[in-house]
Amino acid sequence: MRFHNIVVLTGAGISAESGIKTFRDHNGLWENHRIEDVATPEGYARDPALVQQFYNQRRAQLLDPKLKPNTAHLALAQFEQQHKAQGGTFLLITQNVDNLHQRAGSEHVIAMHGQLQKVKCPWSGKNQSWLKDVTVTDLCHCCKIPQPLRPDIVWFGEMPYQMDECTAALMQADLFISIGTSGQVYPAAGFVQIAAQAGAHTVELNMEATRGDFSEGYYGPAAKTVPAYLA
């Protein structure tokens, strides 16, 4: 690979062929749930039990033994190893809250929208692993006054994680690859511009072309386009 500093951004489309629903596609998660109800701090304040139920259902899918990383996740993990062995740098920024990249063996991963299998204290922000159902009566005891544990998910209006690290890597990138994301949610949707302004070659691998301004694009299922592009 002629590139040295590589940043990859992934979205729900990369996990579609593992059986995880995307958000905005036909039959996606937002067809049956109102964003305002389940993915905002205001929705959670109104009805925490509904929000916990929504995330408990999605956590249950992570525990399904049939759920596996697909060839796109695996190709990225293998590529990271090869690229680093050749002296390059590699950062995988995922908007996904499943843990399929980590399961595939990816190492340098930022889960910018949080992780389904974690819960956090709403006061201190400290997170902890949790794979069983969370109820509104489950409390965190890390602060003086126990707090109800909330999903460790970045909702609309909240600041995504590790933004400084993401921006620094994008400014150094000579290749930026966006995979399986509709590019409708900021700040991730603006990453292509940051990388392009820093001089990176920008590539989109998605089911269909988005509004993002990429140097080149390859369209089809990620399980095919990702291994093919990285080969």
Q: Known catalytic residues?
A: 113
Question: Which residues from 107-136 bind ligand BJW, rule CB under 6 A?
Answer: 113
Select from 80-88, 102-110, 134-142, 148-156 the region that touches ligand BJW (CB under 6 A): 148-156
Among 107, 208, 213, 216, binds ligand BJW (CB under 6 A): 208
* x/- track of binding to ligand BJW for residues 64-93 (CB under 6 A): ------------------------------
Q: Write b or e for each residue in 33-56: b if 16 or more Cβ atoms lie within 10 A of its Cβ, otherwise e.
A: beeeebbbeebbeeeeeebbbbbb
Q: Which listed residue (85, 144, 186, 231) binds ligand BJW by CB under 6 A?
A: 186
Do 150 and 120 meet the contact criterion of CB atoms below 8 Å apart?
A: yes
- What is the residue whose two structure tokens read 């701090």? 41
Distance CA 60, CA 43 (A): 22
d(C-alpha 177, C-alpha 107), whole Å? 17
Interface stretch with ligand BJW, choices 8-16, 43-51, 136-144, 194-202 (CB under 6 A): 8-16
Would you say 88 or 161 has its CB closer to ligand BJW?
161
SS3 217: strand
Spatial strand order of the sheet with 201-206 comes to 109-111, 89-94, 5-10, 175-179, 201-206, 216-219
CB-wise, 112 or 140, nearer to ligand BJW? 112
Instruction: Name the site residues for ligand BJW (rule: CB under 6 A).
Output: 11-13, 16-17, 22-25, 28, 39, 95, 97, 113, 153-154, 156-160, 163, 180-182, 184-187, 206-208, 210, 221-222
